């Protein structure tokens, strides 16, 4: 079984913000695979189902971004999962342009507070990630204001395509493995 966790912040005021790329990608996977909601458990909204022949739990932690690790740790402990092979985290990345995605097997938090929380709580940085680009913050902007802001109409079109591509990438990870997904999606350059 895989835990696929999309990072974001709960509440209407955060919907469709840059920081909610993980939530948006989970919503895409839920719609695409008709994953029924199972309610709230382990500080997350979640659903269980099948994707690409694999049992999955799709989770949106309700802890707010900076405490995402609390929820993910609870899932991993409860279901006795190996985070190094059974956890996929989807989140926003300011180092990628809007519309780009990047798949990684492991790595540091890279300054992302949600990822810092997860690494701290589960005790490893060796887990799969799907990053969705939101673009670099403009000079003079506060980072929190930027990531909690919304996209321009043009950027939103590109980001919506990237969310679909991130969902595709999760399917490839489940069906063919992380290396296949990295080869397919990391080689792509924005046109």
Catalytic residue list: 19
* 183 assigned to a ligand binding site: no
Q: Which token pair is 68? A: 């995402």
* 9 assigned to a ligand binding site: no
* 14 assigned to a ligand binding site: yes
Of 138, 140, 156, 153, give the one whose Cα is nearest residue 98.
156
* 64 assigned to a ligand binding site: yes
| Total residue count of the chain as it appears in this document | 191
- CA 82/CA 113 separation, integer angstroms: 22
Query: How many Cα atoms sit within 13 Å of 46 on the Cβ side?
Result: 20
Q: Which token pair is 11? A: 């509440």
Task: Decide: 4 and 59 in contact? Cβ < 8 Å.
Answer: yes
Which residues line the annotated binding site?
Answer: 14, 64, 66, 113
Mark the binding-site residues for tRNA, compressed into ranges: 14, 64, 66, 113
């Amino acid at each position: 079984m895989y835990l696929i966790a999309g990072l974001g912040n709960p509440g209407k005021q955060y919907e469709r913000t840059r920081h909610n790329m993980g939530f948006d990608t989970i919503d895409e996977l839920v719609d695409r695979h008709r994953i029924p909601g199972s309610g709230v458990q382990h500080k997350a909204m979640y659903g269980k189902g099948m994707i690409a022949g694999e049992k999955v739990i799709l989770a949106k932690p309700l802890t707010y971004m900076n405490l995402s690790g609390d929820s993910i740790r609870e899932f991993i402990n409860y279901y006795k999962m190996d985070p190094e092979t059974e956890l996929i985290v989807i989140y926003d990345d300011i180092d990628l342009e809007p519309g780009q995605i990047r798949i990684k097997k492991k790595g540091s938090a890279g300054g992302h507070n949600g990822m810092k929380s997860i690494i701290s709580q589960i005790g490893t940085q060796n887990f799969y990630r799907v990053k969705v680009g939101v673009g670099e913050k403009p000079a003079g902007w506060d980072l929190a204001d930027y990531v909690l802001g919304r996209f321009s109409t043009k950027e939103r079109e590109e980001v919506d395509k990237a969310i679909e591509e991130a969902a595709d990438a999760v399917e490839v990870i489940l069906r063919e493995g992380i290396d296949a997904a990295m080869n397919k999606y990391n080689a792509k350059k924005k046109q």
